[in-house]
Structure 1
Amino acid sequence: MDLHGIDLNLLVAFDALMAERNVTRAGARIGRTQPAMSAALARLRALLRDELFVRGPKGLQPTPRALDLAEPLSHALAHIQRTLEFTQEFVPSASAATLTLGLSEHPSHVLLPPLIAALGRQAPAISLRLREFTARDDAIAMLDAGEVDVAVGVPSTATGRILARPLFEERFVCILRKDHPAALGPLTLDQFLALSHLLVSPENERFGHVDAELAKSGLKRKLGLTLPQMYMAPVLVACSDMIATVMAGVVEASGRAGDLVILPPPLHLAPIPFVLSWHRRNDAHPAQRWFRDFIATLM
């Protein structure tokens, strides 16, 4: 294929279509109208002699040819962008860059309020897009696909291509409603095991950090409720006889601390680390490097 006849903008359009799986959203992602994106897709089909995307129940579905092209083209475009941007100093106050941040549930409550306020003061023209993930390895998939620039959550499975830096830690506490009989004094292990427990499990597993620690001593707790949304735990504990073992920051950020008694767990539970992750290919990207450092200063 003669590269002289290829319009680089078509490859940018292809990358956006792979990310969004929707012509209108892909156009918005790169600042093009829907008709312009449709025309770009038609040119891509003619150029590559493949349908590339076909309509499905969940939007555009890539063909095998499109899937083969997606990763190498994404890497090539990222390399071109880095090459062009490295010659320019990144000035946050003057930048209109679009940055995409992936967050799990707890960091979204802890990080977003100070982040939005600080961006408004220091980089008001920057556009921030948010993506949510639940399973820890979802962050790897999003970073690999270029769907997010930075992800904040618990550490993912180690890979050589995903880099990370520590951001903050959360300790565990036990919570009970204020007038619960077990809330009168220090919580013993026997009391703890006798109570009905609420388990927060974003990945819908019925075995959490507490269960793993109890299992070391051959012990088990009684699970009364398992739910994926950790910020519902303080609400439900406040109106029930259940106990929950949650991160201290969840209780504080939930606004329900006044309805609860907060006690130290009667067993050792290591703090939960939260990290800032990014793809190695973007390690030196000026805007993303600034964004990572900016987030770190807020925590």
Structure 2
Amino acid sequence: MHSVNTRTLDLNLLVVFATLWDTQNVTRAGERLALSQPAVSHALRRLRERLDDELFVIGRHSLVPTARAMELIGPVREALGRLDDVLQGSTAFSPATAQRKFRIASGDFVEFLILPRLIQHIASEAPGVMIEVVPLPANNALPSLLENGEIDLVISTPVAFGAGLREETVTKVSLLTLIWQREGLSPGRFPLDLYLERPQVMIEMHQREGNIIDASLRAQGLARRVGVLVQNFMAMPVIASQTGYICNLPGPIAQAFAQTFGLSCHQPPIDFPEPELFAYWHARFDADPGLKWLRERIKECANTSDE
């Protein structure tokens, strides 16, 4: 492998490298960089010569990074990010004057628990800030989306993302068990025998990946019945109200929808651990003052949303 003298290395080549990684296409990289396709190809050729590696090879549908490119992308992104920070200065994020859009990937229950209070807070403190919430992509796609800045933040239950990402606890969420009011259950803890007998409305993703409810039941040699699998939390109380099925929801959601759909709220039949919500972001944005501000506001809103 050739040694590389960083003093003579054109930093523009690293920008081209990072953009090719994002786009996996010479033409699209050129469009993003306002360069012609030959100029991008020439830059890639120069970088290949300096690093003595192909870096990207032609795949079936796009450019595919080599093992060497996979080793380089993290350090290159971090270096470019730090350089941007230095050149732009370390001025603090000013919410009152900021003009910025943050993209957050989360599930629908996070939108219900946190988003209304967060938007209310932003409207008064940071009117130029916009929040865009996008669905959670597949877990294997999230690290690269966070790394290249397409998503600023992920708010989710615990996920194993691997190296390069940061995480912090946002809040813990208590669970309540719901069933239609016509069942006539007394307030308090839900009867265990009915909990195991009656079919339940469950989130399909949780059924596939496992969850704290089933893990807690298995620890006691118990199992609940799956009545229907749905894609989002908002469908659960609607189905429960029309079928007599049971559903388990985060406390604030359960209390908000119980009266609307004629459901009664109860403590679960056994003590389930409280699910935790985490915020995930990429290490290259650790020094981003705007992202720090957003994370702080999200934690504040999450921990006061049930007041």
Q: TM-score, normalised by structure 2?
A: 0.74
1:6 alignment partner, one of 10, 30, 46:
10
Q: Are 2:64 and 1:62 aligned? A: yes
Partner secondary structure for residue 205 of structure 2: coil
Further displaced range: 100-109 or 152-161: 152-161
CA contact (8 A) 1:137 1:156 kept: no
> Please, which runs of 5 or more residues in structure 2 have no aligned partner?
49-53, 303-307
C-alpha deviation, 1:161, in angstroms? 5.1
Q: Are 2:170 and 1:167 aligned? A: yes
CA contact (8 A) 1:14 1:41 kept: no
2:214 aligns to what?
Answer: 211
- 2:186 aligned partner, one-letter code: G
Q: CA RMSD in A?
A: 3.7
1:292 aligns to what?
Answer: 295
1:263 aligns to what?
Answer: 266
> Please, which runs of 5 or more residues in structure 1 have no aligned partner?
none
Distance 1:258 1:24 in 2: 53
C-alpha change, 1:108 and 1:19, in structure 2 (3 Å) is: farther
1:237 alignment partner, one of 235, 240, 249:
240
Q: Percent of aligned pairs with the same residue?
A: 22
Distance 2:227 2:203 in 1: 11
C-alpha deviation, 1:230, in angstroms? 2.5
CA contact (8 A) 1:202 1:229 kept: no
1:95-139 per-position Cα deviation (integer Å, ceiling 9, x unaligned): 334544332332133333333443344334445554432677865
1:49-86 per-position Cα deviation (integer Å, ceiling 9, x unaligned): 558475755xx443326545432321221221233345
Q: How does 1:1-299 map to 2 (within 5 A)?
A: 6=10, 8=12, 11-12=14-15, 14-19=17-22, 21=24, 36=35, 38=37, 41-49=40-48, 52=56, 54=58, 60-64=62-66, 66-126=69-129, 128-133=131-136, 142-143=145-146, 146-157=149-160, 162-179=165-182, 181=183, 183-186=184-187, 187-205=190-208, 207-251=210-254, 255=257, 257-259=259-261, 260-299=263-302
CA contact (8 A) 2:97 2:128 kept: yes
C-alpha change, 1:100 and 1:4, in structure 2 (3 Å) is: farther
Partner secondary structure for residue 91 of structure 1: coil
Further displaced range: 35-44 or 283-292: 35-44
CA contact (8 A) 1:103 1:130 kept: yes
C-alpha deviation, 1:203, in angstroms? 4.7
Distance 1:5 1:261 in 2: 67
Partner secondary structure for residue 92 of structure 1: coil
Distance 2:98 2:237 in 1: 40
C-alpha change, 1:23 and 1:290, in structure 2 (3 Å) is: farther
- 1:108 aligned partner, one-letter code: E
Distance 2:231 2:97 in 1: 40
Partner secondary structure for residue 269 of structure 1: coil
Distance 1:250 1:37 in 2: 52
C-alpha change, 1:54 and 1:108, in structure 2 (3 Å) is: farther
C-alpha change, 1:33 and 1:243, in structure 2 (3 Å) is: same
Distance 1:55 1:33 in 2: 21
- 2:112 aligned partner, one-letter code: H
C-alpha deviation, 1:268, in angstroms? 1.0
C-alpha deviation, 1:244, in angstroms? 1.4
